[in-house]
Structure 1
């Protein structure tokens, strides 16, 4: 057992840590893989190769919260606990859990090899939960119908009303065949894809390790494509708002925010796969400036632009005098309910936790016996007080 005598535990080079702990092109700054909880927490304030990884996702929690609460001050916004905001709160839960789980995974992963595995299993699980939280927000705020009744007679020149009875809500679908997907399969598809992603990413920690970064990057491309379907639809079809309305003006920012969201995701993927800049100068970016820190920064910027896009659509809904907030009896899509938002997330989280528990059990079976052996093989200098 290590005796730190109130002194910081020594940082090690890549030759002194187990292969499971090594990162490509990172040569120094490794924490000893038997830190106590207090040692891990204190390491957030000393330069290690995980310090930047922690802060680049911990500080964004507060930045995200600052911009998130602005939604409730929008003109015409109902109370924050209104069903209208259920999807938004689920989106917040997804983002908050993602940022906190990622920062804590990087901070606490030096407690043991098994804890390290569990930390990143949880990290992958929260990424998948975030994608479903985004899907719920897209479904209710950006979806062509968005669970909102479009009153007959509005924008009739752009809509086919021949099959609609008088006084019925008109359809804004430009591609009618997609209505079945949106109304029946969109959310279930997002959940299924999220579960597949958790299974795949967790498996890269026990198999396929040589190509793990490429696999993890492309595995999360699928949920992005599925969850973004309502946005793609909106970009390719006409706006549901009258072009002279303030709602239309508010929603015009959506394409810009979405394109920036995609750009930041693309840049983050490049950093994650290429391992730049440390690939060009191994050892020079061990503490600050290595690819994973840039990956964190870019993914947060993508989340921030996504939040701005959702806020723009929420504001457009609230400003519209021709739309009724859900739930509404005449709407093809029901408004958000506890079951359709929190219930979906709870079911998904329960499934993800089960997957994490399974892989964690396998990790303890694989790496548990190595912990005692690892402790015995450490140089004696780590047992001395300085």
Structure 2
């Protein structure tokens, strides 16, 4: 009979320091795993298994939502829905990129960094799509910034502040974590100002509807995701107890997916319930505007991925990583 031999797992002291996760002591894969071994690890319990599946399964769900919405919409003649479909499409991309990053990040030290560079690029694309003005319906107000203003600048800055810390994560882990949190917090807060203004300061049919509760839940879930990402709880309090199930990155993944689901429900409701109000009070984005923004994001992200990936091979090994123990 055919038998399948699953890859061997290692303790934290048996893998290079670049692979170490705070509070995670067991369940590490070989630091030079083959692509086949990485795929096989999806079907054994490692400290990455649930990180993979908590985004791989939602990728399937969001893809189903996206395809279903395309099927029932006259996409060529309904320009009002174009930003929504860009958003729904990118909501499929970032979970898939994250799943792939967690699947193949044990192939080598450099592969680990490159996997997360690609992951950050997908997150950047999703961030752009979720902040398009006609996707997140905003209340026009002269004192508030439009989410689309200076997006290319923030795209580039986010990519830089997400990628650069990977070169310092061993020497200065606290600084790296702070830069990554800020890279998410700053654009999210800026882009959400019109929504916050609408939810908490405006009243009437043009602002409040059934979608408002979803927006509020989305904000709460995003804050909870940020907490788990930065706090490393509960594994920091009980190292070794949450290596396989229940550590902070898994909880972060779950919160991020729930936040995306709640945001998508809010957007779909808003696009339906506020259609007449939005068409009367705002100008829909044209195809060149949407395509141009997405193309700029892709160019900036791919440029950063190529630059930082090449830098991995230019920097001497002792400068990039401390001596392994």
Q: Would you say same fold, with TM above 0.5? A: yes
Match of 1:210 in 2: 173
Give the CA deviation at 1:272.
1.3
Q: Give the unaligned 5+ runs of structure 2.
A: none
- Cα 1:291–1:30 change in 2 (3 A) is same
Distance 1:20 1:108 in 2: 15
Give the match's secondary structure for 1:142. coil
Q: Which residue of 2 aligns with 1:124?
A: 120
Q: CA contact under 8 A between 1:109 and 1:116: conserved in structure 2?
A: yes
What is the count of residue pairs matched by the alignment? 316
1:335 counterpart = 2:284: yes
Superposed CA deviations along residues 252-287 of structure 1, whole A, max 9, x for unmatched, are 122211111111111111111111111121111111
Q: What is the rounded CA distance, in whole Å, between the counterparts of 2:317 and 2:42 in structure 1?
A: 26
Residues 369 and 96 of structure 1, relative CA distance in 2, 3 Å threshold: farther
Residue among 237, 241, 244 paired with 1:287: 244
State the Cα distance separating 1:300 from its structure 2 match: 0.7
Counterpart in 2 of 1:167?
none
C-alpha contact (below 8 Å) 1:57/1:300 kept by paired residues: yes
**Contact persistence 1:142–1:234 (CA under 8 A):** no
Q: Is contact 1:262–1:302 with CA below 8 Å preserved after alignment?
A: yes
| Structure 1 residues 308-323: aligned runs within 5 Å | 308-318=265-275, 320=276
Larger Cα-atom Rg: 1
Partner residue, 2:225: 268
Alignment correspondent of 1:219: 183
- TM-fit CA distance, 1:240: 5.8
Which one has a larger percent helix, Structure 1 or Structure 2? 2
Task: Identify the residue that residue 293 of structure 2 maps to in structure 1.
Answer: 344
The alpha-carbon distance between structure 1 residues 188 and 176, as it changes in their structure 2 partners (threshold 3 A), is closer
Root-mean-square deviation (CA, aligned residues, Å) is 2.8
Distance, in Å, in 1 between the alignment partners of 2:228 and 2:98 is 17
Residue equivalent to 1:56: 54
Question: What is the distance in 1 between the residues matched to 2:267 and 2:149?
Answer: 21
1:37 aligns with 2:32: no
- Residues 159-185 of structure 1: CA deviation (Å, up to 9, x unaligned): xxxxxxxxxxxxxx5x4344xx43xxx
* Aligned equivalent of 1:176: 142
Distance 1:40 1:254, change over 3 A: same
**C-alpha distance in 2, partners of 1:47/1:367?**
34
How far apart, CA to CA, are the structure 2 residues paired with 1:139 and 1:126? Answer: 21
Please point out which of 68, 74, 85 is paired with 1:79. Answer: 74
Please state how far the C-alpha of 1:118 moved relative to its aligned partner.
Answer: 0.3
Q: Which runs of 5+ in 1 are unaligned?
A: 145-172, 242-247, 326-330, 378-386
